[in-house]
Amino acid sequence: MSKDKKLVEAITSMDEDFARWYTDIVKKADLVEYASVKGCMIVRPYGYAIWELIQNELDRRFKETGHENVYMPMFIPESLLQKEKDHVEGFAPEVAWVTHGGSEKLAERLCVRPTSETLFCDHYKDIVQSYRDLPKLYNQWCSVVRWEKTTRPFLRSVEFLWQEGHTVHATADEAQEETIRMLNVYASFCEEILAIPVIKGQKTEKEKFAGAKATYTIESLMHDGKALQTGTSHNFGDGFAKAFGIQYLDKDNKLKYAHQTSWGMSTRLIGAIIMVHGDDSGLVLPPKVAPVQVIIVPVQQNVEGVLEKAYELKERLSKICRVKIDDSDKMPGWKFAEYEMRGVPLRLEIGPKDIQKDQVVLVKRENREKLFVPMDELETKVPEVLDEIQASLYNKALNLRNSRTFKATTIEEMENILDDTQGFIKAMWCGDAECEKEVKDRTAATARCIPFEQEKISDKCVCCGKEAKEIVYWGRAY
């Protein structure tokens, strides 16, 4: 048992050092390894399996809403990147450049894509000619490169995996409808699949995407009270279309500029799963994104009939869930700790006494609750318990967010709250960028979003005391 205990103790307590706790889980659950290039990560099979489940579910939802997958080059000519001034200025500090091909110096530098707006725009100007060509609803799955100074696996790395949707429409109304529709797709995905509650809203002018007309976001609260932007959807208006010459001949026989959107989610979601659901024993995975939903651990597997029964149960369960059996010669206690650390939602124990009683023991990862289930009820009980775990994780995360969401009517109140704890702070704002900057300077909290669901907690701006326009969620963020 000392070996089992040591395995669990190898994870730093989140209350002791949250950043170290996070890194411990990422490494010890075998999600990533550090690469030889600083700031890059090797996504290990278990981490990639989580990403595949995320990818498959999102891809299904995109296709249900009429989107098609395409693939764009990873290189962007410098001249193309320069076409949209605000966009290039927003990404300039993070851009990686290719200057040589072999030993030959390139005539024009190539940017390694930090995002693909310019590539899609260059393509759309060639394929959009008439109103009959619209809308174009495209998405791509790829990696992007942003030369970050400070990195952390999944949350912020030099190269990361993501999807980026890029659509083009005939009218401003259609583009706005698409922008909100995809934000809602993201929100329902996070809540239904990742068991992470989100706040939906609009970014301030200062926080919006470079070159966008408006940016909308879903914001989540991590276990340490910091916010994480989990997905964004941007309305580009016709700004990019004018810069790139994306025009179409409308029904009235007049040339008009198209309207565009862009939206994206990345492997940052895996970081969110860790920081919302994890505990001091390791990863806690919502069943819907768990590569292994049920781990079967034979107890006293050297006793005749135990392994045979374990494999029989695996065969039965494989028809209804993602199931694995550990028949290695490691001690059961070691296996229990190992799969707890890897976040497997449900453990099934089967031993000689269980076989005699014609039952199995189910143990929930989230709270270690034990259930004794007759073998002939497994096909009914396992999906039921997995659903219970999924709902419980969501409710636990929602309760945490609610308990760490505060109200403030003055900047001094905000400072006092953030001196004591971390969380979302709801406070009124006049809309002035100078007030937004002062809040950030004094509290290190940024405007996370202007929520769609507005409420009035004061008539005055939290910063300047002038008439307030709207409520804003503020918070320190990753």
- The stretch 309-332 carries a mean pLDDT of 96
For residue 408, which amino acid is it? A
- The stretch 398-420 carries a mean pLDDT of 97
Q: Measured between alpha carbons, how far is 121 from 167 in angstroms, rounded to an integer?
A: 10
Give me the pLDDT at residue 1, please: 35
pLDDT digits (tens, 9 = 90+) for 74-97: 999 999 988 876 766 777 788 999
Give me the pLDDT at residue 93, please: 83
pLDDT band, residue 237 (cuts 50/70/90): very high
**In the predicted model, is pLDDT for residue 428 greater than 80?**
yes
pLDDT digits (tens, 9 = 90+) for 44-66: 999 999 999 999 999 999 999 99
**In the predicted model, is pLDDT for residue 117 greater than 70?**
yes
**In the predicted model, is pLDDT for residue 373 greater than 60?**
yes
pLDDT digits (tens, 9 = 90+) for 63-80: 999 999 999 999 999 999
pLDDT digits (tens, 9 = 90+) for 434-459: 999 999 999 999 999 999 999 999 99
- The stretch 114-142 carries a mean pLDDT of 97
Give me the pLDDT at residue 81, please: 87
**In the predicted model, is pLDDT for residue 354 greater than 80?**
yes
Unique residue bearing structure tokens 């034979």: 298
Give me the pLDDT at residue 9, please: 54
According to CATH, the superfamily of the domain at 2-277 is Bira Bifunctional Protein; Domain 2 (3.30.930.10)
Give me the pLDDT at residue 148, please: 87
**In the predicted model, is pLDDT for residue 421 greater than 80?**
yes
Task: Name the architecture of domain 292-385.
Answer: 3-Layer(aba) Sandwich (3.40)
pLDDT band, residue 6 (cuts 50/70/90): very low
**In the predicted model, is pLDDT for residue 309 greater than 70?**
yes
Q: Which fold has domain 405-475?
A: Translation Initiation Factor IF3 (3.30.110)
Beta-carbon-side half-sphere exposure of residue 257 (alpha carbons within 13 Å): 14
Give me the pLDDT at residue 177, please: 98
Q: What is the mean pLDDT of the chain?
A: 95
- Sketch the domain layout of the chain as residue ranges: 2-277, 292-385, 405-475
